Amino acid sequence: MSSLLQDLRGKLDNCDGQLQKLFQERMEIIQKVAAYKKEQKLPIYDPRREAEILSRYTGSEQEFFRTLLRLSRYEQSLVLFPYNIILIGFMGVGKTSVGAKLAQHLGREFLDLDDLLEKRLEMTISQYFANQGEGAFRREEGALIQELRARQGVVIATGGGAILNSRNVETLKQQGRLVLLTATPQTITARLQGDRTRPVLGGEVTEEGIATILSQRKSAYAQAAQYTISTDQLTIEEVVDAVLTSLAQADN
């Protein structure tokens, strides 16, 4: 290696060492911010504050700070909610949309089980149901849940039938808290109108069909749930806030 390159690399290592020290210092302050927010019941994500910080920078510097802010939110989220947050409930209650927003809010990774299964199976869930049947799908779903057993600090959206298996519930509870999202058959019917991706409904979305399956599953959902949020009148953002409020209240 030329001595010039060696010299430049030495300088970079020095920069990185300083960055690391500053990063550690920042994260220590963030821990204190998290403790304060926990006590005062303030939200982790303050969009105005983040926009203000980001407006000081442009281009790749802005990118750098965007990442830093996400890591800071993640660090705070572990102080306030030191467990996985797992959304359960019937089709159409908003598990995927709420989960994605919630994860963004907390700087966490979002795992959508149906999405992961579709990638793994290399086909849509409807196609898999049609080719292999529901039993095979449930085995794949259960195997995936077992594989995710060790994951920590994530937000998970389950498929609507995942918690019908008590082993899945036990496994998910080991690292996480189960939050049930609910909606009336009427709301679910309206939300799923025109949706052909739910094989359990047999390709047809009717209020009677939904009410029947919902009543068969109601007690399983209620038994698995550690928190319940009724989503009928709420926007996605409002459900996210309601989830965070219930989790925060439970620890006080």
Positions that interact with ligand S3P (CB under 6 A)? 91, 95, 114, 125, 159-161, 198-200
- Residue 80: which H helix or E strand, with range? helix 59-80
CB of 199 to ligand S3P, least distance (A): 5
Distance, CA of 6 to CA of 20 (rounded, Å): 21
Nearer CB in complex with ligand S3P: 50/115: 115
**42 conformational bin, left if phi > 0, alpha if psi -120 to 50, beta if neither:** beta
For residue 91, the 8-state DSSP code is T
**Nearest residue (CB) to ligand S3P, 73 versus 95:** 95
Least separation in angstroms between CB 205 and ligand S3P:
12
* Residue of this chain nearest to ligand S3P (CB atom): 159
Nearer to ligand S3P, 71 or 121 (CB): 121
With respect to ligand S3P, which residue has the nearer C-beta, 17 or 133?
133
Question: Whole-angstrom Cα distance, residue 242 to residue 240?
Answer: 5
Can you tell me whether residue 227 is helix, strand or coil?
strand
Q: Specify whether the CB–CB gap between 114 and 125 falls below 8 A.
A: yes
In sequence order, what are the beta bridge partners of 181? 229
- Provide, rounded to whole angstroms, the least separation between the CB of residue 155 and ligand S3P: 14
Query: What ranges in 88-184 are assigned the alpha helix state H?
Result: 95-106, 113-121, 125-132, 134-147, 166-175
**Dist CA 225 CA 218 (whole Å):** 11
Residue whose CB is less far from ligand S3P, 97 or 245: 97
CB of 150 to ligand S3P, least distance (A): 22
